[in-house]
Amino acid sequence: MQTAPAIPARFTAELRDLTDAARAVAAGQVSAGALLQDSLAAADSHACARVYLRRFDAQARLAATSMDVARAAGMPLPALAGLAVSIKDLFDVAGWPTTAASRSLGDAPPALADCPAVARLRAAGAALTGHTNLSEFAYSGVGINPHHGTPVNPVTAAINPTPRIPGGSTSGGAVSVATGAAWAALGSDTGGSIRIPAALQGLVGFKNTQRLTPLQGAVPLSSTLDTACAITRSVRDAVLVHGILAARTPAPLAKPVHALRLAVPQTLMLDGLDADVARAFDRTLDVLRAGGALIEDLPLGTLADLAGLQANGGFTAAESWAWHRARLTVLEAEYDPRVAQRIRRGEAISAADYIDLLHARTAWIARVQAELQGFDAVLAPTVPMVAPAIAPLLSSDSRFFAINAMLLRNASVVNMLDGCALSIPCHQPGQMPVGLMVWGPAMADDTVLGVGLTIEAALAAGGSPARDR
């Protein structure tokens, strides 16, 4: 029974992830063109239905061909070596419209230039394969889109035939990686929109410190919380792609397990875990403790203050209302009603309320950072449940909003903290995907990535899906 995403390539056994594939292309063991053809075939498959809103096949083929020509001429290849990378339909790609998966932006003109994040991927040799589907305007952790349809979670489909959510908002991006249509997916994370779909599909999602990656040329949800980042198949791929997007050289220090001091918050993040998540999380802690890691329960009572900070919709409501108010007044019928409802909460937030929220967040961040002193990283389940079925969420608003709140609960803590976090798969073969969130404060990116590399290796040795990719 398949529990890890499969790469539909002739080279599957040797090429576990983007890093392997790029090395193989650079060494002449396989052509970029051949691997791209595999990715495009995956994009055409039933598993990728409703994933791409527009395809860039011709451009992608040119990019892959240019890498093969350069290699044949003995030239060094850039890091991504003509491999397929998908782009969430929030980011400008030259020559194509950016519509945020919304009918209300159906008249958007083609972008005149790549946004910085896309330009950096292109310069690194990515074969950009297309704009991927998402929750309209990135406004949910569920991944449902009433305009373009909802991609089915391909990993859970291999375990249970019930169509389940892909997670959001980077729904299409995650499915593109899980099916092999892309080796990495550019997306955004405002309250977990990279990490949630990664967790629900057995992938790796890294939300870096917001200030490290540029957001220009991307449709905003919350200018305070939005982060441009990526979904990958491994932590080493997350390091590679983060370095490209942030235009920096990450230096993750992979300490041995026995040298790690880790915290597990006892407030909020462990509440209401379903059985699959609790089992996978407890097993992960057991593996790390067996390796000598010091894991401490941490009350972290400051997390209880988040409900008050976000009671009126918080930054997402206030800042999305500022961006949408003119368009929403004229085109509300073109919006997903569930999205419009949440945006309109911002209408009641005054300037004084917003300024108070800014100050309250700054004070809250200081309190949390003080409690995290001395730990290498913090551990929690990325989301408290495995992927729920799609059908009940289509017909019930109350069910949808309850599930959305639970999906966002743990991950959104890191955005409010202005922190960084990895989601790493921690389930065993045959089980529904579960994500382990490894997180820390702002600018702890290299530390979190280093801890992630160590934990990924420890789980692989213990029989997690990471070993079988």
And the tokens for 139? Answer: 């406004």
Residue 460's H or E segment, with its range, is helix 445-461
d(CA 54, CA 299): 47
SS3 assignment, position 184: strand
Name which of 138, 234, 155, 247 is nearest 189 in CA terms. 138
Amino acid identity of 193? S
Q: Which residues are CB-neighbours of 307 under 8 A, at least 6 positions away?
A: none
And the tokens for 203? Answer: 């992938």
222 labelled catalytic: no
188 labelled catalytic: no
Scan for tokens 């599909």, then name that residue: 201
Helices 18-26 and 235-246: crossing angle in degrees, nearest 10, is: 70
Please name every residue paired with 439 in a beta bridge, in sequence order, or none if there are none. Answer: 378, 421
Question: Which one-letter DSSP state was computed for residue 466?
Answer: G
Please name every residue paired with 438 in a beta bridge, in sequence order, or none if there are none. Answer: 379, 422
Question: What's CA 243's distance to the chain center, in Å?
Answer: 16
d(CA 460, CA 462): 5
Among 31, 39, 86, 88, the active-site one is: 88
207 labelled catalytic: no
d(CA 196, CA 198): 5
HSE, CB side, 13 Å, CA atoms: give it for residue 188: 34
d(CA 53, CA 99): 9
Among 39, 104, 169, 171, the active-site one is: 169
Question: Which one-letter DSSP state was computed for residue 132?
Answer: E
Among 86, 176, 188, 193, the active-site one is: 193
Residues designated as active site: 88, 169, 193
